[in-house]
Structure 1
Amino acid sequence: MESYQRPAANQVVEHEIEIKRSRFITLVARATNEQEAREFIDAARTRFPDARHHCSAYIYHVEDSNPVERSSDDGEPSGTAGKPMLDVVKGSGMLDICVVVVRYFGGIKLGAGGLVHAYSGAVSETVEKVRTVTRAKKELYTVELSHADAGKIEAELRGRGFDVVDTDYGAQVTYTVAVAPGGRAGLDAELAALSQGGAQSRKAGISWVE
């Protein structure tokens, strides 16, 4: 996997629906590991302590392995909440995402089919509101420039779509530039044109960049 979509950082998307007097409050946020997912689920329990159910589903990326997927019915009949929620999350194509649906029971039973429809519908409506970002595997290169040239060349590189991910100020200014795999030739061509051949890139590894 070279890239994927995930929720933007530091956002919690909240959406509520009512079905036969039961309230379904859906919360969605980024979670990149088990601990972050658990903390988000626990925070929902703390915020809505009197709700009957706090059902959850999450899926997060693991380097060089399959994504981790988990779901919980939290007291609802088996298979009526967590799995339908997880199916919607998987269908969204997003990773690093945690969803909690808080249910306040309204006194009218929905039946297994009704619960599946309610939980999947609640998540579908909320996921549509999530602002996403792309996380992609990029090649990193460092470029050393004089202080006199650095600002102008950085602006030109950014203007041409290059991602400057780090800056280090020393005797020279060292920029770390992220490019798509195989993109070094394009970077070197731009550097040669911008610096009259004075700047060259050095390979600095591979990293995930958002």
Structure 2
Amino acid sequence: MSEKNELFTTVSQEAHVDFEEKKSIFIGHAVRTDSEEEALAFVKQLKKQYQDATHNVYAYMMRGDLIARYSDDGEPQGTAGMPVLDVIRKSGVRNVCVVVTRYFGGTLLGAGGLVRAYSHAASLALDAAKIITYEPYTEYELKCGYSEYQKYNVILMNSGALVDDTDFSDAVTIRFAVRKAKRESLISKIIETGYGRDIPNERGERFDYR
């Protein structure tokens, strides 16, 4: 299966979550980034914002798993950046950057404690950023009369289609998108309901979620 047809899981919003572990403050940040440049810009922004922090550990992963980077930012090797990257990888989330800021509280956590703390911060940040799954959708435009509009609208709603907009003029024009997996059955239902008079025209493709 090509990447174009795969499901795509990412986060829907930027999030920040903090907690305390043995007097150290950990702040997990997560945001969607669609390129390595966007991820590095986010890291740079947070390093400036939290320049007084002891560490700003980060990891990011792009769709396709071809780009995956991390930094321990001064923490013992393998105790910070890699655990954050492992959380991202296991979650299935892609096109995301996670930064974990730490303010040292004076008590050493040990290697195991650091791994657990950074992993926990990354998990909290991803959950707070609301994980969503994008699917391939096909976009259509359907022109019909006012008498057929309500019937088609019910069909679209029942199929889980996304109605982008509806134009009411001499006729009704509905622009909608439907999951590729459901498009054949939906289009057949519309054509059958309209006795072949109203046939949706394909406009394009996109990734979306419901």
Same topology, TM > 0.5: yes
- Structure 1 residues 143-154: aligned runs within 5 Å: 143-146=142-145, 148=146, 152=150
Q: Indicate the residue corresponding to 1:155 in structure 2.
A: 153
Q: Indicate the residue corresponding to 2:177 in structure 1.
A: 178
For structure 1, the residue ranges without an aligned partner over 5 or more in a row are: none
Task: Say whether 1:3 aligns with 2:7.
Answer: yes
From 31, 34, 37, give the equivalent of 1:32: 34
- Structure 1 residues 53-68: aligned runs within 5 Å: 53-61=55-63, 65-68=64-67
Q: Partner of 1:78: helix, strand, or coil?
A: coil
Residue 74 of structure 1 aligns with an amino acid whose one-letter code is D
* Distance apart, 1:133 and its partner CA: 2.1
For structure 2, the residue ranges without an aligned partner over 5 or more in a row are: none
Q: Partner of 1:45: helix, strand, or coil?
A: helix
Give per-residue Cα distances to partners, 1:64-109, cap 9 Å, x unaligned: x444212111121222111100101111121122111001111222
Asked whether the 8 Å contact 2:83–2:119 carries over to 1, the reply is yes
**Do the aligned partners of residues 209 and 80 (structure 1) sit closer, same or farther apart at CA in structure 2, a change above 3 Å counting?**
same
Asked whether the 8 Å contact 1:137–1:208 carries over to 2, the reply is yes
Count of aligned pairs? 204
Residue 27 of structure 2 aligns with an amino acid whose one-letter code is I
**Do the aligned partners of residues 76 and 143 (structure 1) sit closer, same or farther apart at CA in structure 2, a change above 3 Å counting?**
same
**Do the aligned partners of residues 153 and 122 (structure 1) sit closer, same or farther apart at CA in structure 2, a change above 3 Å counting?**
same
Q: Indicate the residue corresponding to 1:18 in structure 2.
A: 20
* Distance apart, 1:184 and its partner CA: 3.5
* Distance apart, 1:49 and its partner CA: 1.9
- Supply the distance in 2 between the matched residues of 1:67 and 1:177 (Cα, whole angstroms): 33
- Supply the distance in 2 between the matched residues of 1:72 and 1:112 (Cα, whole angstroms): 16
Asked whether the 8 Å contact 1:4–1:134 carries over to 2, the reply is yes
Residue 143 of structure 1 aligns with an amino acid whose one-letter code is L
* Distance apart, 1:12 and its partner CA: 2.4
- Percent sequence identity is 34
- Supply the distance in 1 between the matched residues of 2:47 and 2:92 (Cα, whole angstroms): 27
Residue 6 of structure 1 aligns with an amino acid whose one-letter code is T
Q: Indicate the residue corresponding to 2:124 in structure 1.
A: 125
Q: Indicate the residue corresponding to 1:42 in structure 2.
A: 44
- Supply the distance in 1 between the matched residues of 2:176 and 2:65 (Cα, whole angstroms): 29
- Supply the distance in 1 between the matched residues of 2:66 and 2:207 (Cα, whole angstroms): 16
- Supply the distance in 2 between the matched residues of 1:38 and 1:167 (Cα, whole angstroms): 40
Residue 3 of structure 1 aligns with an amino acid whose one-letter code is L
Q: Give structure 1 regions of 4+ aligned residues with deviation exceeding 6 angstroms.
A: 168-171
Residue 153 of structure 2 aligns with an amino acid whose one-letter code is A
Asked whether the 8 Å contact 1:60–1:67 carries over to 2, the reply is yes
Asked whether the 8 Å contact 1:154–1:164 carries over to 2, the reply is no
Q: Indicate the residue corresponding to 2:102 in structure 1.
A: 103
Give per-residue Cα distances to partners, 1:13-72, cap 9 Å, x unaligned: 2221222221111111221212321232222223222101111111122xxx44421211
